[in-house]
A and B are shown apart, each in its own frame.
Chain A
Amino acid sequence: MLLISCPNCGSRDETEFHYGGQAHVPYPENPDELTDRQWAEFLFYRDNTKGSFAERWLHSTGCRQWFNMLRDTVTYDIQAIYPMGAPRPAPNTDQPADFGTASLAPDSTTTGTTGPSVASTDLGPAEPAATAPKGATQ
């Protein structure tokens, strides 16, 4: 059982979450111009990384918000949790995984070029577990 630190709700069991697959796969900008090959890539091809993998998770029985996670697919170590729309951080295995920031993105499951500008997002220093933002229900 994974213990996942939701940016809004703090550490919860994996059973509260829904897996959303690879992160940072934007919807094609010009779908009507795509070839069959390009559509196949968008619909059926995802990275299947052995190692550090950026993926989406939904806290479906909690705050019902999406967020991104960097996780090692061999050790299952959670290396970073970051908002939808934020760029992928460098994996930092020295930091605990519970330094999540609240979601900056609107209710959207698509990320990448369509996300809000979060270039200045500071993923913050290592903090103790369950660093929910002010106002979040603990």
Chain B
Amino acid sequence: MADKLPEHPDFLWHNPDPKPSYDAIIVGGGGHGLATAYFLAKNHGMTNIAVLEKGWLAGGNMARNTTIIRSNYLWDESAAMYEHALKLWETLPEELEYDFLFSQRGVMNLAHTLGDVRESMRRVGANQLNGVDAEWLDPKQVKELCPILNISDNIRYPVMGATYQPRAGIAKHDHVAWAFARKCDELGVDIIQNCEVTGFVKDGNRVTGVKTNRGTINTEKVGLCAAGHSSVLAEMAGFRLPIQSHPLQALVSELHEPVHPTVVMSNHVHVYVSQAHKGELVMGAGVDSYNGYGQRGSFHVIEHQMAAAVELFPIFARAHVLRTWGGVVDTTLDASPIVGTTPVENMFVNCGWGTGGFKGTPSAGYTFAHTIATGAPHELNAPFALERFETGALIDEHGAAAVAH
């Protein structure tokens, strides 16, 4: 586990001034925006493009997530999307020539009630049919894989078993962003930081430019990759998104010896834990219930999560919370993303990844780049169209025991 961390890199990309015009502009310089730009350049030969970031590169949710990567979603559409991402995660370090420490240490999703057990077994079956590696573990097997878990039956939410995906794991999130950024830069993509979009220029219903705090930039196409701020951009462009932005919190402990060999998630008590390469215990909570753009949430959410974590992992009782933080996540009512066209011509949107966007980064980039380049969705993201809220063809992952990320 305690693999050697890569050396801190030198500057991996330039800081160009915006050109007067581009073939495509990606709004949002996080993981999804950078991955989209990378695949636009690599797969579709579009190199006269720019990524605009209002702050610094990968300073939003890309810097705030708990880095869990898995593909064990229930529904066919989701399994295809996330499994495609997982396969890309497996090949990207070589392709990007950057070892961002993708560690396939497995992810366990605990079951605490009979309902959980039935849902979990159903999900294992669905996963296997979709070619996703998944197995069911009884409590004894859970304990063998993760000895620090408390599997006694006298706790409030006893562990009745777990699903396990061996190919799942974690990666160094910052390094993932830097890996994409370096390749984008090499391919000729302009990465423009401190460039906030303040409006759009339209000719009728067609977008023709982007207004920013660094001037107006003309463009043929616009791709929105702004996560929690997607609604704000959509409003500027004149359409609505079925998105609610919530604070989502996470925390780390101080550094510890390796004690936690895998990743453990519990949807029922809403806690998920891994141990980072350096040794911090990394934990994520559920979203705060209220809408918020503040990148912070309420402390009782942290308290609730810690109580659950200590009950499941008694050894954590003597660890300390070193740091807590929040990010703004863009949630949809079916807990599935929106990747596709918008009511505005030549404007495309990738949003709604909610609490689980990190793991989807490669797929989001891959399918969104296809959508922007060709004007039509890839078969993987076709079901994730904005229109599904009108047709009723929702992809309801909320009820599918995969809501925690």
Contacts and interface: CB of A to CB of B under 8 A. Distances in A.
Contacts of A49: 291
Given A18-B289, A50-B229, A75 B294 contact: yes
A18 B289 CA distance: 8
Interface stretch (A39-47, A96-104, A116-124): A39-47
A19 B331 CA distance: 15
B390 A37 contact: yes
A76 B390 contact: no
A48 B232 CA distance: 8
A45 B240 contact: yes
Interface in A71-85: 71, 73-76
Interface in B342-399: 389-392
A15 interface: yes
B390 A48 contact: no
B299 to A, nearest CB: 5
Interface string A23-62: 0000000000000110111011110111001010000000
B294 A74 contact: yes
Q: A-B pairs with the 6 shortest C-beta distances?
A: A48-B231, A19-B289, A44-B242, A40-B390, A44-B389, A1-B298
Interface of A: 1-2, 13-15, 18-19, 21, 36-37, 39-41, 43-46, 48-50, 53, 55, 71, 73-76
Contacts of A14: 298, 300
A44 B241 CA distance: 9
B333 interface: yes
B290 A55 contact: yes
A73 B296 CA distance: 11
Interface residues of B, number: 24
Interface residues of chain B: helix, strand, loop or mixed (majority): loop
B300 A48 contact: no
Nearest to A51: B293
B294 A48 contact: no
Nearest to A71: B290
Given A44-B389, A45-B389, A76-B294, A15 B232 contact: no
Given A36-B390, A45-B242, A55 B291 contact: yes
A44 B333 CA distance: 7
Given A73-B294, A76-B294, 14 more contacts: A1-B298, A2-B290, A13-B300, A14-B298, A36-B390, A36-B392, A40-B242, A40-B389, A40-B390, A43-B333, A48-B232, A48-B243, A73-B292, A76-B292
